[in-house]
Chain A
Amino acid sequence: MAATTLAGLALAACGAGNTGDTDAGILVGTTDKVVSIDPAGSYDNGSTQVQTQAYQYLMNFPAGSTDLTPDAAESCDFETPTEYVCTVKDGLTFANGNELTASDVAFSFQRIVDINDPNGPASLLGAMKKVEARDDSTVVFTLAAPNDVTFPQVLATSAGPIVDEETYPADKVLDDDAAAVKAQGFSGPYTIGSYKKNELAEFTRNKDYDGAFGTPKNDAVTLTYYADANNLKLDVQNGKIDVAWRSLTPTDIASLEKADGVTVHKGDGGELRYIVFNLKTMPGDDDAQKTAIRQAVASSIDRDELSEQVYKGTYTPAYSAVPEGQTAATEPFKELYGEKPDVDKAKAFLDEAGVATPVELNLQYNPDHYGSNSDQEYAMVKRQLEATKLFTVDLQSTEWTTYSEERVKDAYPMYQLGWFPDFPDPDNYLTPFFAPNNFLQSHYEDTTTTKLLDTERTESDATARAKTLGEVQERVAQQVPILPLLTGSQVAVSGDDVEGVDDTLDASFKFRFASLSKG
């Protein structure tokens, strides 16, 4: 080794004497992986992370805000109940020099629908019937339902990045990230320079950016990818990176809270962890018994214990399908079933419906998709349920590939799921779960709930909408088609000299590199 070192040093000393050393700027580390830089081919946290920095959206959420603000758009509004019209700013260009026009915007949305990649976000555009450019600066979205107040928020989701019509193919995802980087169809706050998929991505400030994030507070950010959260923790602790963003383990976060030189930042999150009941296959002879069993389970769970013992406070108790921090969120589960386990109340639900105890529950969880702590979380759920002596729990785990196939085939009577919001709106926690043909496919369908959901989605008056949203939450808590357990806050860890992390940890779940600076 010594000989190699000496030989290398001697050769290096005689080398070309290069002086073009690169400044990596602010260093951010993550364990999230990129599926594709091309928006048509991805709908995941790791890809969104890159897209947020490099692409421009029509509307976006500026740091610290959940109010939609024009980004590439000059303005957006309903022209008729089913036509949402956006005017694109004049003079916008992509990093490759091509002009960004309404035609590029229409192209970007239409190609997501046309390509319909299984990894892509086409499902987010279900409310859009068609999109077209009226002229160079006007784009018209024709919607399926009138006055759909959730659609404008879709513009800021994974379905919203604007790509360059001249360099992105209309019918397929750009075949690899090198092609996307080479195309330079970026008009966001940064362009991408050096790029090695899931190893390193270098973001350089786009001086021509004119959008919702404002002028970036740094010139460059480099994102480094980690396979092991422990290495991410060690590197932020030792100052090898400036910011660790997703996903440190609860134990590592607790340890870093006590460490010198780093600050743990927590912000609104909106991630929901919950149990789904399959209304067809769960125990109970009839609907009344099934409902009673769900209500008894709801009365037997200690969310505080899950939060503190398993997640060291990085997840907090959730008492509604809409997590705390979201607009119009209430806590009906706390009111109906109590904050702590109540065996008497649980027993009363079961006795009233004539359910024989102990009830045998078959509970499934997934060990490889929602973090390694799922093991502990569900072991504790089992213990809490069995502590009431009203239930016996057969706890089973299945790997994600099989799990995601089997859960929609009625294979699991009760099972774990988690949810990241697409946009910061309470509807994103309700319609996908409780509308007819929802993605849970748990056989839950309720006429009153469906009507309430239709009302809230098209209600433009905020107070009236909040009231309707409260009614949906209350109804869901009475029927318990899902049992919300915990909501996750966003956690980032930075060196003490890094500023701006708290500004970006808001409910829109967009980690904006433009907010970061070093003091």
Chain B
Amino acid sequence: MSSAEVLAAGEPPTPVPAAPSGSRRGLPPLARYLLVRLALVVPMIWVLVTLVFVLLRVIGDPITAAQGGRLTPEQIAERKAEAGLDRPLLVQYWEYLSGLLHGDFGRSLTDNQPISEVLRVNGAATLELSFYALVVAFAVGVPLGRLAARYRDRLPDVTLRLFAIVAYAAPVFFVGLLLKLAFTPFGWPSSGRASTSTLLTLEQVRPRTNILLVDAILWGDPRYVLEVLQYALLPALALGLLTGGVFLRLVRINLLQTMRAEYVTSARARGMAEGRVIRKVAFRNALVPVVTVMGMQVAMLLAGAVLTETTFEWKGIGYALAEYLKARDFLAVQGIVTVIALVVCVASFLIDVIVALVDPRVRF
């Protein structure tokens, strides 16, 4: 007996309410999923921005922290008024939020630079370094992870797992110093983004991106491209190996799990060679968690960039953050940390989108 027959025999059926127009039921699963994620990102950003604001007020008055030793009480009061720090906390908070919405991150206390300008110029440098580091991480982690999975529990696997642990566990500045010690005796550049004459030349590129590789390409001289890559190698290795270690272990584990899946077994049963099974069937699925982890790695890359950029004089966001922290310029620190938090949130959302596109299961 069907449910309709049961209802017909008893009470009259309750009318099913019509779906309201625009109901989520009407949306395709992917759009619904992304909408929910987006709805979560906005409050998350608000919480982060508020947290940064509150924490940097809790630790004390930024003017005194940055310049207190040299200022009279009257000068401190004057500076506070100039920076708007004499106003009620809620007013400051409102001005801070509306400033952020207009891309105004305030000015640094120590060198009076607009933070948005620091973010624009130094952000490009960090973006460039992060790109190189991700290239290194993929170049190291993915093929070596595959290799380790293929030779499971044999010597190559054990060696590679050990390498992954060391790469992941070693502090990035320590790896950086080791690389510098190893390379500089051969004249390899150990700091900066390019030689001074190249930097001066690339200053003339219009439009200028501050991503030196792009600027060098726009300038149109292969010598500069090579030089920029030469300077980038050590910091990219220092930062990329860390993430490469994580990728290696992830690819290995996921590949091994995927290899036990039924569809892989059936591929083998159809007579497909093991190498082809890995390459054609298992590998793509094994990469899904790597992409997910990549989102989290953005935060790690930015954290690692502070140390890497300082070690290699790579004048990016991390370098600026370290310098402003040393100078106790907490207004500048507030602006930079806020942007880092925003980047992590947005990256995490974008990774959700990518994963949803790659793996249909997460949409449902």
Contact = CB atoms under 8 A, between A and B. Distances in A.
A71 to B, nearest CB: 28
Nearest to A13: B222
Interface residues of A, number: 50
A176 B116 CA distance: 14
Interface in A170-212: 175-176, 194, 196-200, 202
B313 A228 contact: yes
Given A197-B111, A238-B190, A15 B218 contact: yes
B252 interface: no
B325 to A, nearest CB: 12
A21 B201 contact: yes
Nearest to B328: A401
Given A197-B113, A234-B190, A1 B197 contact: no
Interface string A388-409: 0000000000001101110000
A411 interface: no
B264 to A, nearest CB: 29
B199 A200 contact: yes
Contact of A224 (B196, B216, B219, B328): B196
B229 A5 contact: yes
A491 B116 CA distance: 38
Contact of B197 (A23, A176, A197, A405): A23
A227 B318 CA distance: 12
Contacts of A227: 310, 313, 319, 322-323
B104 to A, nearest CB: 15
Nearest to A35: B111
A91 interface: no
B191 A228 contact: yes
B342 interface: no
Given A8-B225, A227-B322, A22 B197 contact: yes
B133 to A, nearest CB: 10
B219 A18 contact: yes
A20 interface: yes
Nearest to A29: B196
Interface in B310-329: 310-313, 315, 319, 322-323, 328
Nearest to B230: A5
Contact of A238 (B67, B184, B200): B184
B84 interface: no
A367 B77 CA distance: 28
Given A18-B220, A22-B200, A234-B191, A400 B110 contact: no
Nearest to B76: A118
A21 B200 CA distance: 8
B226 interface: yes
B219 A222 contact: no
Interface residues of B, number: 56
Interface in B129-150: 132, 135-136, 139
B23 interface: no
Interface string B294-322: 00000000000000001111010001001
B98 interface: no
Interface string A210-240: 0000000000001010111001001100111
Interface in B188-229: 189-192, 195-197, 199-201, 203-204, 213, 216-222, 224-226, 229
Nearest to A223: B196
B196 A200 contact: yes
B31 interface: no
Contacts of A20: 201, 204
A8 B213 contact: yes
A175 B112 contact: yes
Nearest to A404: B69
B249 interface: no
B200 A12 contact: no
B15 interface: no
A12 B213 CA distance: 10
Nearest to B309: A227
A231 B313 contact: yes
B258 to A, nearest CB: 26
A101 to B, nearest CB: 30
Contacts of A224: 192, 196
Given A1-B135, A1-B139, A405 B311 contact: no
A1 B136 contact: yes
Given A199-B315, A226-B191, 16 more contacts: A1-B136, A5-B225, A13-B220, A14-B220, A16-B218, A22-B201, A35-B111, A200-B199, A222-B197, A228-B313, A231-B192, A234-B180, A234-B191, A240-B189, A401-B328, A404-B68
Interface of B: 64-72, 75, 110-113, 121, 132, 135-136, 139, 180, 184, 187, 189-192, 195-197, 199-201, 203-204, 213, 216-222, 224-226, 229, 236, 310-313, 315, 319, 322-323, 328
